[in-house]
């Protein structure tokens, strides 16, 4: 396989605020760590070296960490400019990614491969020629990343994967993690009392005996 490097943006301080209705800040920090660990493990299994672009000091086994005091897009675009190899940009809140799913992305024959996040974001972006491409995250970035590729006459693959499109932001997203997960993040949830509840039709999530979603 060609040489690839991965960039993984991460904000260790007060992460996953949309889960603050159900998790304390300390819990969100531990849970975000567990999700990051799952992504790093999948990259390691796929033999893709990863640099965590962190907004603060941070340590993670199996990854190098670079502290970046700039915005997400600025940090990523600097990484792209500096890279001599194809780059895989991957978000930290994708606890369902696996070696196999990542290999589906990087084995594209197109110039760019995009995995949309639910709700129009961009969860994973593979860029064969990183010198030429500039990212623009936030909001409806999936569409923008397609447009940027088109402006550059780059060919694009949109990868169809529930596991990679599932970014965990909201309490509802825990349902998919508890159903399909098999790593640290699912284990963290279980150790902290979360479980599926399939009593009345739709599957929901409870913590202890309290229904969450």
Interface residue list for a copy of itself (CB under 8 A):
101, 116, 118-120, 138-140, 142-143, 160-165, 175-176, 179-180, 196, 198, 200-203
Minimum distance from residue 114 beta carbon to a copy of itself (Å): 12
**Coil, helix or strand for 170?**
coil
Q: Which is nearer to a copy of itself, 85 or 143 (CB)?
A: 143
Minimum distance from residue 132 beta carbon to a copy of itself (Å): 25
Q: Which is nearer to a copy of itself, 117 or 130 (CB)?
A: 117
Minimum distance from residue 85 beta carbon to a copy of itself (Å): 27
Minimum distance from residue 81 beta carbon to a copy of itself (Å): 26
Q: Which is nearer to a copy of itself, 80 or 97 (CB)?
A: 97
Task: Compute how many other C-beta atoms are within 10 angstroms of the C-beta atom of residue 191.
Answer: 10
How is the beta sheet containing 194-197 ordered, strand by strand?
194-197, 204-207, 210-211
Minimum distance from residue 98 beta carbon to a copy of itself (Å): 9
Minimum distance from residue 141 beta carbon to a copy of itself (Å): 9
Structure tokens belonging to residue 91: 């978000």
Q: Which is nearer to a copy of itself, 60 or 114 (CB)?
A: 114
Q: Which is nearer to a copy of itself, 56 or 179 (CB)?
A: 179
Listed as own residue / partner, the contacts of 76-84 with beta carbons closer than 8 Å and 24 or more positions apart are: 76/7, 76/9, 76/135, 76/137, 77/134, 77/135, 79/7, 79/51, 79/53, 79/130, 80/127, 80/130, 80/131, 80/133, 80/134, 80/135, 81/130, 81/131, 83/5, 83/130, 83/131
With contact defined as beta carbons under 8 Å apart, do 98 and 41 qualify? no
CA gap 39, 94 in Å, rounded = 6
Q: Which is nearer to a copy of itself, 39 or 52 (CB)?
A: 39
What Å distances lie between residue 38 and 43, 76, 134, CA to CA? 9, 21, 27
Rg, the chain, Cα only: 17
């Amino acid at each position: 396989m060609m040489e690839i490097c991965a960039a993984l943006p991460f904000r260790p301080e007060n992460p996953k605020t949309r889960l603050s209705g159900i998790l304390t800040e300390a819990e969100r920090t531990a849970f975000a760590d567990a999700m990051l660990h799952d992504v790093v493990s999948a990259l390691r299994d796929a033999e893709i070296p990863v640099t965590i672009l962190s907004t603060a000091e941070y340590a993670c086994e199996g990854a190098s960490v670079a502290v970046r005091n700039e915005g997400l897009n600025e940090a990523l675009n600097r990484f792209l400019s500096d890279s001599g190899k194809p780059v895989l940009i991957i978000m930290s809140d994708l606890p369902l990614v696996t070696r196999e799913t990542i290999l589906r992305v990087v084995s594209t024959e197109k110039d760019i491969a995009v995995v949309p996040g639910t709700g129009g974001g961009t969860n994973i972006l593979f860029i064969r020629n990183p010198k030429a491409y500039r990212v623009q995250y936030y909001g409806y970035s999936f569409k923008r990343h397609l447009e940027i590729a088109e402006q550059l006459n780059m060919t694009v693959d949109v990868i169809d994967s529930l596991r990679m499109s599932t970014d965990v932001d909201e309490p509802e997203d825990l349902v998919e993690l508890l159903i399909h997960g098999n790593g640290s993040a699912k284990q963290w949830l279980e150790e902290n009392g979360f479980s599926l509840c399939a009593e009345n039709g739709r599957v929901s999530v409870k913590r202890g005996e309290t229904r969450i979603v």
